Amino acid sequence: MDNSEIIASWIGSKIKDIRKEQNLNLSALSEKSGISIAMISKIENGRVYPTLPSLLQLFDALEINLNTFFNDFYINDHFPGFIFKKREDYKHVNKEEDSEGFNYETILSHTIKKSMMEISLLTLSKDSKRKKLTTDGFEYIYLLKGSIDYELESQTFKMETGDSLFFDGRMQHVPHNTANEDSVLLVIYFISAS
């Protein structure tokens, strides 16, 4: 289990424990938070990463503070010098709750000296759609297959196989598949852990 899986599992398990301590069932937490029962179940079981707004809605519904929630979180910073992953070890992740045709696979997520790098494969189906969003940190996009229009704030970059883009994730961004088949992107996130 890599760090990204550990984080998702830890967050979900802790939310479940707090919910049970408060004698709330999934239905009651769903009603209080405005998040569907199915999504809460996926979060609690570590199958999806909650978005920040969803996490804050859950914290509000459970009446817990963000800092208090994470005060006992710890990740082992040990790095053996290399990380080897087989293709079948990539984890499918649902990063955005309101997107269609966005299939992320986390290749690697590891914290090194107060910074984290996460590498994902993003497969965009030809009918994929999502609103623009922002991320903390920087992103590097390498188009492995297909063609896309990558919207970054008010600019649009027409990308073909082999093209790449590096940018500050705090800028509003979204890719649009322009191919008649799936387009596949290698997405690398660089996030400061301090």
Condensed to tens digits (0 to 9), the pLDDT of residues 25-42 reads 999 999 999 999 999 988
Q: Does domain 3-70 have CATH number 1.10.260.40?
A: yes
Nearest CA-CA partner of 34 in 15, 5, 72, 61: 61
The ranges of the chain annotated as CATH 2.60.120.10 are: 87-192
Query: Which residues neighbour 168 within 8 Å (Cβ) at sequence distance 6 or greater?
Result: 138
State both tokens at 71: 């005060």
Report the percent of the chain where pLDDT is more than 90: 39
CA distance 179 to 65: 45
The pLDDT of residue 109: 63
The pLDDT of residue 136: 81
Report the percent of the chain where pLDDT is more than 70: 78
Return the exposure string of 139-157: e unless at least 16 CB atoms fall within 10 Å of the residue's CB, then b. bebbbeebbbebbbeeeee
The pLDDT of residue 162: 87
CATH dotted code for 87-192 = 2.60.120.10
The answer to whether residue 118 scores a pLDDT higher than 50 is: yes
The answer to whether residue 1 scores a pLDDT higher than 50 is: no
The ranges of the chain annotated as CATH 1.10.260.40 are: 3-70
CA distance 144 to 147: 9
pTM: 0.51
Average pLDDT score, the chain: 82
3-class secondary structure per residue, the chain: CCHHHHHHHHHHHHHHHHHHHCCCCHHHHHHHHCCCHHHHHHHHCCCCCCCHHHHHHHHHHHCCCHHHHHCCCCCCCCCCCCCCCCHHHCEEECCCCCCEEEEEEEEEEEEECCEEEEEEEEEEEEEEECCCECCCCEEEEEEEECEEEEEECCEEEEEECCCEEEEECCCCEEEEECCCCCEEEEEEEEEECC
Residue type present at position 50: P
- Band the pLDDT of 47: cuts 50, 70, 90: confident
Span 129-137, average pLDDT: 89
Condensed to tens digits (0 to 9), the pLDDT of residues 152-162 reads 999 999 999 98
Span 81-108, average pLDDT: 68
